[in-house]
Amino acid sequence: MHQETAYIINPLPSGSTVKVFAPATVANVVCGYDVLGFALQAPGDQVELTLNESGEVTLDLITGDDGLLPTDPDKNIASAVVKYYLNTIGRNQGVSVVLHKKMPLNSGMGSSSASSVAALVAVNHLMGNPLSRIDLLPLAMEGERIGCGNAHADNVAPALLGGLVLVRSHHPLDAKKLPFPPGLHVAVIHPHVDVPTRESRRILKDRVPLRDAVTQWGNVAGLVAGFCTGDIGLIGRSMEDVIFEPVRAMLIPGFYELKQTALNAGAIGFGISGSGPSVFALCQSEATALKICEELKNLLNTFRIQSDTFVSEMNPEGASIVGE
Amino acid sequence: MHQETAYIINPLPSGSTVKVFAPATVANVVCGYDVLGFALQAPGDQVELTLNESGEVTLDLITGDDGLLPTDPDKNIASAVVKYYLNTIGRNQGVSVVLHKKMPLNSGMGSSSASSVAALVAVNHLMGNPLSRIDLLPLAMEGERIGCGNAHADNVAPALLGGLVLVRSHHPLDAKKLPFPPGLHVAVIHPHVDVPTRESRRILKDRVPLRDAVTQWGNVAGLVAGFCTGDIGLIGRSMEDVIFEPVRAMLIPGFYELKQTALNAGAIGFGISGSGPSVFALCQSEATALKICEELKNLLNTFRIQSDTFVSEMNPEGASIVGE
């Protein structure tokens, strides 16, 4: 599509700045591997872009990454997607990129997606918004490819669009924001163990039993129906994964104890966030989410594993401009 | 559950009669193998029950089956489920059963389900409705076991409950009636070729590629989201089956020509009804459905295959009492 589209570009003046926040996201939502994800209010990344006359995209500062992210502007997601965006719309433009990582890396919470989406929403704003949010989705997926080697949309789509997003198909790309009942809170617990996405995908099998696949799509259907109709009981019963969780749970110490603790404490459902190691509990109240964070942190402590915890409502808006 | 429940039985007097119609159903709805089905307004079966003092369930008349259905009351679904029902509620009761088959057998339109559901709704009515419709579902599945060897719910659930029904899980049984947009019409074309359900299930593989399973559950999620939110475009894009259709289409002469003809004529989507050989097109108007029936009947004629065609709105109510 990009070659043939004439974009209506109305760039802000040189020296203009914008700060964009893009949220962490929970992909898969237990049973919906590669097709479902939702956005949190926090944590997330903030990207600050400033237009200049240099004609180049420069990566001028990264904070909060403990020196772990690439500083080469072609390899760092935030600056690389800005370049990709400018190339797509056919514009030669100097941009200074500043990235404030405000969430853990390699956590299963969509860290690379947050950087990619924040940078794209920012540069698109500075160019006068020639692309809609949904038009930015393929570009954000390119950011995922740079960051993780796979151009999946189940983190970038909710980071960009907000709420719960269904990615029905990647080829052709077909994403839709779904309704969800109000008041849902999410507890995310990030244990400090290392499970890179690529490794986590590698342990999955190429073929699955048909009966497991049918069980899984019954649950995916139930989860979507539960969200669309506000049926909390159905959402909970559908948050079951017979294909990936049994494999990926091995990478998360005490996974089944964590799960049972969360369900006993009143979670609607519990599972691995993305490819882990973070886990999440969907809850009907902030109080339940806070209680679950505390209990799971304590339980991980008994395994001598440190953790971060986050409590957030579901985020209906996705990435947002937080300063100009 | 049935052993421990005390049923509140208020039987009508001996000699009381009821006539119940239960509709044909389209199971799977292309991508939702074993988990989705919807009810038609017509065709369907009519069952007529009369209470008597004999203490026995008798099968006194079958019409419309060309002599193909079992006349042994323990083997014919209509009478067998009446016996099973009475046994379940712990009642010894004479009942005369009359079955009017008003739809083709082995057609993939839920013929056995229609008989099972009509008989159960009828006997439950005569007993003073001790069971709700959803409580009748496991008994109707027992009828499916008698008729087809498999206790699946994707035909009986919509025949019983009406509308579009999601069967998230069979063990434990978890069925939910979903919203659907108004005005949908269905064209069903029944080619006169023989594809018994058992054979059709037998040719399926035990394992499927993970990537096909993911594609399928993306489509199942899209179909459910499309129905729940009234997004006709999404419904259409989701009516794609990468696992079963490529195998089962071989059993239906000219399947892909039929499909292309229906889509060219304006169908939202097209696929095999249940395990075939009937095919169906989901349409936005009666006129489109009628046109598709005519074109597909003509096309089948060129293959020297006779066919029946049916046009119906989606049936929101399911089985209904049509006479007392």
Task: Note whether residue B32 is domain-resident.
Answer: yes
Q: B206 to chain A, minimum CA–CA distance in Å?
A: 5
Asked if A303 and A219 sit in the same domain, the reply is: yes
Query: Which pLDDT belongs to residue A197?
Result: 57
A49 has a pLDDT exceeding 80:
yes
Query: Which pLDDT belongs to residue B42?
Result: 96
Asked if B262 and B303 sit in the same domain, the reply is: yes
Asked if A214 and A122 sit in the same domain, the reply is: no
Does B225 contact A224 at a Cβ distance shorter than 8 Å? yes
Task: Tell me the C-alpha distance between B115 and B129, whole Å.
Answer: 18
Task: Tell me the C-alpha distance between A187 and A300, whole Å.
Answer: 15
A144 is annotated as an active-site residue: yes
Task: Note whether residue A6 is domain-resident.
Answer: no
Task: Note whether residue B42 is domain-resident.
Answer: yes
Residues A112 and A281 sit within 8 Å (Cβ to Cβ) = no
Asked if A62 and A144 sit in the same domain, the reply is: yes
Q: A73 to chain B, minimum CA–CA distance in Å?
A: 33
Asked if B165 and B26 sit in the same domain, the reply is: yes
Count of A-B CB contacts under 8 Å: 134
Residue bearing tokens 């049923």: B7
Asked if B68 and B85 sit in the same domain, the reply is: yes
Angle, vertex CA B109, rays to CA B104 and CA B110, nearest 5: 100
**Average pLDDT for residues A174-180, to the nearest whole number?**
97
Q: Give the mutation candidate from B214, B215, B227, B232 for the A interface (greatest A CB count, under 10 A).
A: B214
Confidence of residue A2 (pLDDT cuts 50, 70, 90): very low
**Average pLDDT for residues A169-187, to the nearest whole number?**
96
Query: Which pLDDT belongs to residue B296?
Result: 98
Task: Note whether residue A5 is domain-resident.
Answer: no
Domain stop point among B151, B178, B205: B178
Task: Note whether residue A293 is domain-resident.
Answer: yes
Query: Which pLDDT belongs to residue A139?
Result: 96
Domain stop point among B154, B178, B202: B178
Asked if B151 and B198 sit in the same domain, the reply is: no
Chain A contact for B171 (CB, 8 A cutoff): no
| CATH code, domain with A57 | 3.30.230.10
Q: Report yes or no on whether pTM surpasses 0.90.
A: yes
| CATH code, domain with A252 | 3.30.70.890
Tell me which chain B residue has its CA closest to the CA of residue A225: B224
Residue B282's domain spans which residues?
185-313
Query: Which pLDDT belongs to residue A201?
Result: 62
Chain A contact for B157 (CB, 8 A cutoff): no
Q: What pLDDT digit, counting tens, does each position of B95-149 carry?
A: 999 999 999 998 999 999 999 999 999 999 999 999 999 999 999 999 888 887 7
Asked if B137 and B189 sit in the same domain, the reply is: no
Asked if A59 and A108 sit in the same domain, the reply is: yes
Run of H or E including B176: strand B173-178
Does A228 contact B224 at a Cβ distance shorter than 8 Å? yes
Domain stop point among B120, B146, B178: B178
Q: A217 to chain B, minimum CA–CA distance in Å?
A: 5
Mean pLDDT over the full length of chain A: 94
Question: What is the DSSP code string of B197-239?
Answer: HHHHHHTS-SEEEHHHHHHHHHHHHHHHHHHHHT-HHHHHHH-
Confidence of residue A125 (pLDDT cuts 50, 70, 90): very high
- Complex prediction ipTM: 0.94
Tens of pLDDT, residue by residue, chain B (324 residues)? 445 568 999 999 999 999 999 999 999 999 999 999 999 999 999 999 999 999 999 999 999 999 999 999 999 999 999 999 999 999 999 999 999 999 999 899 999 999 999 999 999 999 999 999 999 999 999 988 888 778 789 999 999 999 999 999 999 999 999 999 999 999 999 999 986 656 666 667 789 999 999 999 999 999 999 999 999 999 999 999 999 999 889 889 999 999 999 999 999 999 999 989 999 999 999 999 999 999 999 999 999 999 999 999 999 999 999 999
Asked if B162 and B85 sit in the same domain, the reply is: yes
Task: Note whether residue B319 is domain-resident.
Answer: no
Asked if A46 and A68 sit in the same domain, the reply is: yes
Task: Note whether residue B7 is domain-resident.
Answer: no
Asked if B216 and B269 sit in the same domain, the reply is: yes
Query: Which pLDDT belongs to residue A93?
Result: 96
3-class secondary structure, B236: helix
Task: Note whether residue A2 is domain-resident.
Answer: no
Q: Count how many domains chain A has.
A: 2
Task: Tell me the C-alpha distance between B209 and A222, whole Å.
Answer: 22
DSSP 8-state assignment for residue A257: H
Closest to A24 (Cα-Cα) out of A283, A314, A323, A324? A314
Query: Which pLDDT belongs to residue B1?
Result: 43
Return the structure tokens found at A131: 């692309």
Chain A contact for B222 (CB, 8 A cutoff): yes
